[in-house]
Amino acid sequence: MKYFQPVALEHASRLVNHGPTVLVTSADGPRRNAMAAAWSMPVEFTPPRIAVVIDKRTYTRQLVAASGAFGICIPGTSLTDLTYALGSTSGRDTDKFERYGIEARPGPVLGMPLLEVGCAAWLECRLISEPHTEEAYDTCFAEVVAAAADARIFAGGRWSFRDDNADLQTIHHLGGGNFARSGGNLQARPL
């Protein structure tokens, strides 16, 4: 997409450090899926690593385990309904990309399906194998191998939430289909 620009990996953690709801994309051969996740966060800067909670029983987790990779796409407010739908339906029963008319591009390093239309940013991630953690918990750890963002809302390693980019502002799930929108920046001043 014309607005998406690569994000330096040293700034990749900034894409998720404010706790937005994310879309986790996965693929293994012809099988693919997308799901919503409310819990993701950076855990290391160099190399950039993240953690995301993906229930062990989900189709997404099955595909991530099989491929060793996934995408993290950060939807803007214009994708609130889609985000809720992706979090409320199973990919075992239907190809969500076809069902919801989702356009995806292959990631530049691992080929994971990545969404740009309506999204503020994406990260392509390689799963860090942790057998004990994978068996005991729903948390997955991964190294970010590529990242990009829509320059209208994230540029120079910084978010800029303004009135003219409200459709790209990130969303935060509050439960029961309710979301809050990130909006407006506050600049701290020295005391």
Report pLDDT digits (tens) over 105-160. 999 999 999 999 999 999 999 999 888 888 889 999 999 999 999 999 999 999 99
Distance (Å, whole) CA 191 – CA 181: 29
Give the burial class of 70: count Cβ atoms within 10 A of its Cβ; 0-12 exposed, 13-18 middle, 19 or more buried. Answer: buried
Give the model's pLDDT for residue 1: 65
Question: Which pTM does this prediction carry?
Answer: 0.95
Cα angle 120, 182, 148 (rounded to 5 degrees) comes to 20
Give the model's pLDDT for residue 183: 82
> Looking at domain 4-181, does it have CATH number 3.40.50.300?
no
Distance (Å, whole) CA 29 – CA 22: 23
Q: Which residue carries 């800067």 as its tokens?
A: 45
Domain spans of the chain? 4-181
3-state secondary structure of 77: helix
